[in-house]
């Protein structure tokens, strides 16, 4: 017996026929056949059960209750005359003796139908999220999330990791995204920050002598929403290991994740260890992306020298990439739509040709027609091949090729193996890049990463002996089906090396000490080599559930503007609260 129930709404079967039971749940639906006959559906967390009212008094009682009210039904189980094989409880029904309203729904009209809430307006869904979560699909996503987090914890404990929670109120630090700031009442004019990640704390744990740490960590970043990124906050499997190499971290993830994906995923096949390793440079060259979907069996080929043409401006002096689709039978309408979609997403126009009877036809064929034999031989072209071409600077040509590969994979089912989880590691990321806004050298990835070559390679860059952009780092991303699940790195654990790495981006030793005082000082007392990673739990669940939007796997997500429509956050606060904090608000017009 559970609470005031004898059974749940998903529990009763034929072997319960004849029993007197008490069920509690939401009144999902009422279908009246006549004044003396009606069929009600009662729903709880575990399923649904049909209730049949066979006299006018009970029918009238049901009619007086609004849908989604919480009720208790006392009655007997009997065999259904018209069974429903699609329901676990489809062989039985309840003949009620009494009905009690436990929690009345006071609204005759709901904001949306519970069973079709996913089709409702997003704002309505988020404002009435407690109704949205009554939808069985979302409920199942919450169950999935709970089960997966449990399995993660279990696996990490079995591998000898210790769970440690790190602070939520901390100091602001320059880690890439904007901080959420929290004003201090006792220290007016000063602010805490919500952690963008437990990065510094987990490295300090390594300096403290903790060997293997993990937690399901909340992270807070003031950044815009995307389909695969919730604004405001998200959760990650944060882990760090002392005396660990890159391969040690890979070994943990390759042990923990595949069994979970195979057990709980929409697809039952997942990559086995070891996952494929692809350098960042090769990923950009072959797939046009540092998040390649290896299920798509297409790669880009550099054809810059092969297809240079002064007669066609986009091919004159630019990098040219080719993606070849064999045995292509699609229409011109398909090709035009494909090219339009690629241009819309990449901001760069693609080009194309086809092979037919030993010649190029269509698209830009007239500019390369006289070189068919040479091009066909070097690219191993066959009849009825489709060649999609991208051109521009190296970065533009690669990016456009990456979009093209993804669009082709989505448009042509024969090019993608959809029923599997394909993992890979992207390794050897650049340590530095030129910032789009600043135009100056910035960290490309995690600023606390160990550069390949250590202190010596940074000293060479400082002296001008090598280009800082050529320096790679022990940084790695975990990719699954074209989705970045995680970033990680072997850490920079030496104060001198740490200072030198920040010197490259114009931060002096005193600035490093002031911005990262705990980490700098801890490392000065001796810290073991360490490495870690932090796969995103929300994205992981999204992949497992087969959802396109991350909000479908988060209980109470914000909207795209980082607003909680249900709770009314962010909200104004009273003048008294502001005075206690020593804050005065001035809003510019």
pLDDT in tens, 411-438: 999 999 999 999 999 999 999 999 888 8
pLDDT at 176: 65
Query: Concatenated DSSP letters for 318-375?
Result: SEEEEEEESS----HHHHHHHHHHHHHHHSS--EEEEE-SSSEESTTHHHHGGGHHHH
Q: Are 431 and 471 in contact (CB under 8 A)?
A: yes
pLDDT at 446: 81
Phi, psi of 155 (to 5 degrees): -65, -40
Query: Concatenated DSSP letters for 146-164?
Result: HHHHHHHHHHHHHTT-EE-
List the domains of the chain with CATH numbers.
14-103 (2.40.50.140), 154-273+423-537 (3.30.930.10), 296-415 (3.30.1360.30)
Contacts (Cβ under 8 Å, ≥6 apart) of 520: 495, 498, 512, 513
pLDDT at 1: 44
Alpha-carbon distance 334 to 307, whole Å? 24
As beta bridge partners, residue 533 has 239, 488
Closest by CA to 404, choosing from 419, 393, 420, 415, is 415
User: Angle at CA 78, nearest 5°, toward 76 and 82?
Assistant: 140
Phi, psi of 212 (to 5 degrees): -135, 115
Model confidence over 143-157: pLDDT tens digits?
999 999 999 999 999
pLDDT at 435: 87
- Enter the tokens of residue 430: 């650049």
Q: Counting beta carbons within 10 angstroms of the beta carbon of residue 73, is it exposed (0 to 12), middle (13 to 18) or buried (19 or more)?
A: buried
Number of H helices and E strands in the chain, helices first, is 17, 22
As beta bridge partners, residue 48 has 43
Query: Concatenated DSSP letters for 115-184?
Result: GGGGGS-HHHHHHTHHHHTTSHHHHHHHHHHHHHHHHHHHHHHHTT-EE----SSB----SSSPPEEEE-
Alpha-carbon distance 48 to 42, whole Å? 5
Closest by CA to 549, choosing from 64, 541, 167, is 541
- Enumerate residue ranges in the chain where pLDDT < 70: 1-3, 174-176, 589
As beta bridge partners, residue 278 has 426
Peptide bond connecting 570 to the previous residue in cis, omega within 30 degrees of 0: yes
Alpha-carbon distance 421 to 192, whole Å? 40
Model confidence over 292-326: pLDDT tens digits?
999 999 999 999 999 998 889 999 999 999 999 99
């Amino acid at each position: 017996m559970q609470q005031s129930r004898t059974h749940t709404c998903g529990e009763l079967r034929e072997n319960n026929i004849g029993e007197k039971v008490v069920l509690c749940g939401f009144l999902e639906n009422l279908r009246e056949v006549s004044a003396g006959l009606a069929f009600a559906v009662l729903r709880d967390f575990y399923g649904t059960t049909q209730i049949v009212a066979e006299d006018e008094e009970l029918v009238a009682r049901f009619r007086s209750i609004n849908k989604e009210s919480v009720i208790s039904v006392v009655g007997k189980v009997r065999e259904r005359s018209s069974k429903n094989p699609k329901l676990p409880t489809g062989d039985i029904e309840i003949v009620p003796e009494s009905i009690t309203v436990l929690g009345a729904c006071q609204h005759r009209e709901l904001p949306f139908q519970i069973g079709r809430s996913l089709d409702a307006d997003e704002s309505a869904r988020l404002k009435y999220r407690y109704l949205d979560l009554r939808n069985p699909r979302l409920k199942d996503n919450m169950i999935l999330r709970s089960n997966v987090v449990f399995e993660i914890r279990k696996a990490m404990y079995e591998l000898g990791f210790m769970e440690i929670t790190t602070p939520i109120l901390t100091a602001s630090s320059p880690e890439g995204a904007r901080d959420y700031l929290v004003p201090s009442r006792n220290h007016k004019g000063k602010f805490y920050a919500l952690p963008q990640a437990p990065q510094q704390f987990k490295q300090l744990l390594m300096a403290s002598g903790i060997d293997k740490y993990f937690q399901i960590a909340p992270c807070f970043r003031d950044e815009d929403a995307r389909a695969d990124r919730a604004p405001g906050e998200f959760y990650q499997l944060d882990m760090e290991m002392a005396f660990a190499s890159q391969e040690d971290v890979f070994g943990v993830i390759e042990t923990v994740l595949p069994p979970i994906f195979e057990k709980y995923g929409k697809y039952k096949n997942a990559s086995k260890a070891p996952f494929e390793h692809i350098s960042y440079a090769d990923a950009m060259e072959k797939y046009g992306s540092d998040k390649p979907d290896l299920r798509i069996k297409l790669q880009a080929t550099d054809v810059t020298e092969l297809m240079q043409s002064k007669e066609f401006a986009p091919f004159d002096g630019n990098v040219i990439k080719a993606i070849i689709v064999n045995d292509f039978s699609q229409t011109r309408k398909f090709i035009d739509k494909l090219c339009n979609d690629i241009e819309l997403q990449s901001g760069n126009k693609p080009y194309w040709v086809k092979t037919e009877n030993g010649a190029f036809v269509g698209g830009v064929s007239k500019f390369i027609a006289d070189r068919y034999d040479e091009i066909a031989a070097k690219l191993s072209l066959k009849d009825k091949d489709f060649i999609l071409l991208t051109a521009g600077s190296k970065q533009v040509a690669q990016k456009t090729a990456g979009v093209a590969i993804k669009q082709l994979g989505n448009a042509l089912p024969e090019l993608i193996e959809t029923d599997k989880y394909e993992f890979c590691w992207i390794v050897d990321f650049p340590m530095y890049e030129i910032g789009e806004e600043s135009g100056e050298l910035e960290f490309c990835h995690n600023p606390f990463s160990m550069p390949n070559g250590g202190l010596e390679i940074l000293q060479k860059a400082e002296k001008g002996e090598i280009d800082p952009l050529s320096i790679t780092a022990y940084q790695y991303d975990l990719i699954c089906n074209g989705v970045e699940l995680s970033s990680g790195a072997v850490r920079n654990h030496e104060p001198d090396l740490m200072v030198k790495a920040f010197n490259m981006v114009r931060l002096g030793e005193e600035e490093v000490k002031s911005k990262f005082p705990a980490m700098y000082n801890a490392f000065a007392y001796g810290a073991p080599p360490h490495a870690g990673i932090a796969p995103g739990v929300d994205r992981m669940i999204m992949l497992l559930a087969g959802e396109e939007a991350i909000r479908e796997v988060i209980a109470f997500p914000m909207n795209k503007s980082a607003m909680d429509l249900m709770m009314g956050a962010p909200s104004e606060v009273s003048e008294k609260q502001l005075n206690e904090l020593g804050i005065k608000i001035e809003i510019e017009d």
